[in-house]
A and B are shown apart, each in its own frame.
Chain A
Amino acid sequence: MITIKDLSKSYDGQKMAVDHINLDIRDGDIFGFVGLNGAGKSTTIKCLVGILEFNEGEILINGRSIKASPMECKKDLAYISDNPEIYAYMRGIDYVKFILSVYNRPYDNDRVVALAREFEIDDVLGNLVSSYSHGMKQKLVLMAAFLHEPKLLVLDEPFVGLDPKATHMLKTMMKDYAAKGNTIFFSTHVLEVAEKLCNKVAIIKNGRIVVSGTMEEITQSSSLEEFFLEVNNE
């Protein structure tokens, strides 16, 4: 599903935010991307979804280059940023309709209401997004992403701001979604979640991939948290 070859990105032409990284993620994978603050997780994700241009390398989504065919690649993915500060002047329902229109998907009110009920935001869909709490915005963005059924879900810190119930529900939804053959790529600081949820993981440090592989390979002798701290203390 995702192939990243020799990806490099520098903001100022000198310091590399992402330095020649390579990743291979298959259909049905739940891929955890972990690293310290400023390690290069968000930059990699923004390059992956076509927000940032990159200096070197190639990113293929479903065999298509994000540089050469951005529109086709973007049709297959949904990106959820770490900051759910979406259009404050829209009502929740307007945002949902907007996303469905952008992805050329039909609006099905029953489905919208059912999913909103699962996320427990069905009673506020008619309110302005500006009146939502951080967690409610996060739920709305997640709900809209699931509605247009992308083959690839890219999430930057998806559990930040969610209440325990919503976190549990999201984890379940992610598992079910991947079980259908879709791919999930997400960054997180919550290593316990990554360990339980992901079948593959990569640790990034100073823009470089330090280790990448299946969860079993990485956690053979220790937990992901211990391994992560060991890697970052070196």
Chain B
Amino acid sequence: MNKFFLLTKAFFLAGFSVNRRRNSQKPVFQQLGIFALIFLAASSFYNFMFFFGSMLGPSSEEGGVFGVSGDKETVIYVLSMAAFIAFAGTFSLMQNTLFGGRDFEFLQSLPLKTSTVIAAKITAVMLFVIGEDLLIFVPTALCYLIKTGDGIGALISLVAVFFVSFIPVLISCLLGTLVVLITRHLKNQNIFQVIVYGLYFLLIIALSFAMRAKGAASSAISNVLPHIKLFAGALRSNDPVQLLLFIGVNLGAFALVVLFVSLLYKPINSIKQKAGDGRYRVSRKANASVSSALFRKDMMMIFSKPGLLINSVMGPVLFTIMGIFVQLIPTASEDPEPARSFSVIALVPLFAFMLNSMTNAAAASISLEGKNFELLLSYPLSPANVIRSKIISALLLPSGISLIGSIAVTVIAFLKQNVDAYSIPLIITVLLAPQLSLVYTTIVSVLCNLRWPKIYYEADIQVVKNSKSVLFATLLCMLPSLTIGVVVFILCLLAPIAGLIAAVVIYGVMITVASVILRKKGNRLYIGVVSR
């Protein structure tokens, strides 16, 4: 048992950079202030996520603010959403934690049972997810307690927070393991994994829309994640037996998955990729310019790392899917009135701003150089050269997808007669908005990575998902993008031309400011990446 706790602590500290914060030389009050700031910002972020999730739930006409009526139902709904977010978000995290590290041989050489290692790895991820769930849940729990004074209910909910994401994380774990098992020996395994991940996400979105079409949010979610029914029962009747059953089911599932993955852990990690026959062809353009050599290298890097590739394409793909689904999936009113049709297409820039601001692959692009960054510094390359290449390579793929997506959304809007000739400014906004948000996000992400680099790490996922740079990039992009999105959405409803002007002017200013900061501070930050 001691070994399990020791390993869990080690994986958690290593995976989520807790030790670096612990060793910080800053005064205690300053550290507390930073913690409070991060907590507030992260809370806001997750509450935005909640808002995003609630949009997928039933409409307000069906009862309550989020389609749920009654205080207890709201608590169930919030926790169900937390579980659903864990279901959607831990697929690649789990996969990388189990199979993406370089610690396999080292761990195998230690006197440790494989099941202990697997249990510790999964628990480390669980702890991270529980932290996220607490951020989502704490504001709701406080409101619930103040409003109802139901201490037992609040206690049951608090206990449930620690277990509600168990099964979603375990499902991600199983799926991740199976995908690695199937693709491990393939030459293009990264691309294959990204496609599987895309299909998985598409399924989740389709599921969300299906829920919206069907009925009450919490019951719909509990049909997808049935273990929540047990928790919901416990809370509705304040019944500790059902709560214990809920905990038992989760722990039982945990034990089974640990056992299953333990059996596959060694065979999967022992499969060697085919080395190839060593032959190569020299292209006619063997001599590349410095810029194109850097760009080629960066593109190779993006395509070699599934987590990074997913971050690159997820935003544009999701906003395209949302933009299409929102127009195609019927809602409460089957016969849309003109005003509603108009509002549907006006939602697309909001989706684009919100989802493209998650396209922060550039926030890990410098960190992912790892120890090679030292080599990069020893080459005769100007910081501007490297930074430019990072921006262009991070922009190319998502902006291509996003342009295709915008065109597809526009075509469907015309076919469904959701826009007319008078809405040309709206169409331009739909085509332009994603590109603007991507440019802003990429520049800010590169800046964040230069400011908070992490070039010494064990597994890619530590910098792709959990680094300080990615966290700040997400906050600095998502919060303003959502605000702008709402403003542009309202203006588009009132007068599309005003929405277009607002999007161009606000993003124009933000992109300019970010570019000026990058130009002024970029060199200094770049040179200091290793020293810091």
Contact = CB atoms under 8 A, between A and B. Distances in A.
Interface in B266-298: 272-273, 275-280, 282, 286-290, 292-294, 296-297
Contacts of A128: 273, 275-276
Interface in B458-517: none
Nearest to B291: A101
A81 B374 contact: yes
A27 B92 CA distance: 53
B301 interface: yes
B262 to A, nearest CB: 26
Given A97-B293, A101-B288, A102-B290, A91 B280 contact: yes
A15 interface: no
B301 A87 contact: yes
A25 interface: no
Given A100-B287, A102-B379, A107 B282 contact: yes
A64 interface: no
B300 interface: yes
B377 interface: yes
Contacts of A124: 275, 278
Interface stretch (A43-51, A177-185, A212-220): A43-51
B381 A102 contact: yes
B300 A89 contact: yes
Contact of A74 (B372, B380, B530): B380
B380 A75 contact: yes
Contacts of B280: 91, 93, 125-126
Contacts of B301: 87, 89
Contacts of B282: 93, 107, 109
A46 B374 CA distance: 8
B237 interface: no
A11 B530 CA distance: 11
A101 to B, nearest CB: 3
Contacts of B277: 126
A127 B276 contact: yes
A130 interface: yes
Interface in A101-121: 101-104, 106-107, 109
B108 interface: no
A97 B297 CA distance: 11
A88 B235 CA distance: 52
A105 to B, nearest CB: 8
B530 A77 contact: no
Nearest to B292: A101
A81 B375 contact: yes
Contacts of B296: 94, 98
Interface residues of A, number: 42
Given A51-B374, A51-B530, A125-B280, A109 B286 contact: yes
A149 to B, nearest CB: 14
Contact of A53 (B272, B290, B372, B528): B528
B378 interface: yes
Contacts of B297: 87, 90, 98
Identify the interface centre among A87, A88, A106, A123: most chain B CB within 10 Å of its CB: A87
Interface in B361-378: 370-372, 374-375, 377-378
Interface in A33-81: 46, 49-53, 71-72, 74-75, 77, 79, 81
B531 A53 contact: yes
A79 B375 contact: yes
B382 to A, nearest CB: 6
A148 to B, nearest CB: 10
A88 to B, nearest CB: 8
Contact of B275 (A90, A93, A103, A127): A127
A104 B287 CA distance: 8
A94 B288 CA distance: 11
A72 B379 CA distance: 10
A97 B278 contact: no
Nearest to A48: B378
A86 interface: yes
A83 interface: yes
A131 interface: yes
A192 interface: no
A74 B376 CA distance: 11
Nearest to A123: B278
B31 interface: no
B152 interface: no
A161 B210 CA distance: 58
Interface of A: 11, 46, 49-53, 71-72, 74-75, 77, 79, 81, 83, 85-91, 93-94, 97-98, 100-104, 106-107, 109, 123-128, 130-131
Given A46-B374, A79-B375, A93-B280, 15 more contacts: A51-B378, A52-B531, A71-B381, A79-B378, A81-B371, A81-B375, A89-B300, A89-B305, A98-B296, A100-B287, A109-B282, A126-B277, A126-B279, A127-B275, A131-B273
8 contacts: A90-B297, A94-B300, A97-B288, A101-B287, A106-B287, A109-B282, A126-B277, A127-B276
Top-3 shortest CB links A-B: A89-B304, A126-B280, A101-B293
